Structure 1
Amino acid sequence: MGHRGDLDSDTRRLLDDLCVRLGFCLSPDDIRSLELSPPGDVDAFADAVFLAEGMGDMSHTRIRAQVRAVVARHMGGWPRTDPARA
């Protein structure tokens, strides 16, 4: 499982970028939860960030598009993982 640590680091860099760029600074518990089990696609990851921020109603379409763009940029460089992986 050598590349699990890489995914943790990738997730942390993504979340750090969201915090610095857009002010979406999640709690340590939320960060760890996303590191342990990151959503497998851009939309699901953006949704998870919004839920963790207490903005799960998705009415913030402009800021959601900005969050999604940051997530997409990061996830585009991540190694492919098996979505069926436990």
Structure 2
Amino acid sequence: MIVLNKILDRLHAVCPGSYRLDEAEVIHLHGQYVLDIDEDSALPTVSLDERMEVGGNVTIADWIVDNEAVLDEIVAAVVDLKNDS
């Protein structure tokens, strides 16, 4: 939950209102893009995925969150993705 909250804080600072959090704690971005956070492993991981209607999901990027700078990389990728759309 710590990584989730830190990412949400950063997203709110740079692009408020451009995401929503569902009951499964998946961050839904614009379009079919999602940030899926797994804090159950030894080191938390974050995946940026595009949800496809047919054929499953496509993973665009994966991060192991082992320091604060990785959180900034994740948010930068989300901003780039938003700007490219």
Tell me the TM-score normalized by structure 2.
Answer: 0.30
Query: 1 or 2 for the larger relative contact order (CA 8 Å, sep ≥6)?
Result: 1
Indicate the structure with greater helix content.
1
* Structure with more of its chain in strand, by fraction: 2
- Could you state the TM-score of these two structures normalised by the residue count of structure 1? 0.30
